Amino acid sequence: MQRDHTYRRQTVLIAFVLAAVLALSEPAAAQEDEATERQDTLPSPVIELQREAGDGPGQEVTVLLDESHLKLAVLTLRQGTVLPPHSAPVPTTIQVLQGAGVIHVDGKPIRVAEGELLPLRAGADHDVQPDEGGDMVLLVHYLRGGGSTMHHDDEH
């Protein structure tokens, strides 16, 4: 009796998983149309990232993409320039493209280096302090939910 009950439960679970997979999959033509539609809404299919600080002012922001659902920007901090404490009203990630330093999140120091990504919750107070005299290039990704408007000024 127990084996029969376990078999039925496994069968129901497999059927449920299969139904979910089928419901989530779309015909190939529909997926191609959707991919084409997504490309039409972006400025270009590939965004080239600046990975080195180069010459310029102590702090520089280059907005790569500014859509209703997300914003991507490259923040360059040259020669140890510090980004003062601030927050964003949306979830944010900061990826280090060049350099290293400390990002204080709600007062807690977090050491970051090239290739690392730091996720931040909405409203988290944070600052960025490159290593003394060093350059940092950061990719900042703002996730905007439900098409809400971004109220964060271009500090990043």
Give the C-alpha separation, 142 to 126, whole Å.
14
Average pLDDT (16-28) is 44
Length of the chain in residues, anyone?
A: 156
> What CATH code is carried by the domain that includes residue 115?
2.60.120.10
Residue 105: domain span: 59-147
Q: Looking at the DSSP assignment, which residues form a beta bridge with residue 76?
A: 60, 137
Whether residue 49 is contained in a domain is answered as no
In a domain, 71, yes or no: yes
pLDDT tens digits along 79-128: 999 999 999 999 999 999 999 999 999 999 999 999 999 999 999 999 99
Query: Are 36 and 108 found together in one domain?
Result: no
Task: Tell me the three state secondary structure of residue 60.
Answer: strand
Number of domains, the chain: 2
- This prediction has a pTM of 0.64
132 vs 149: CA distance, rounded Å: 36
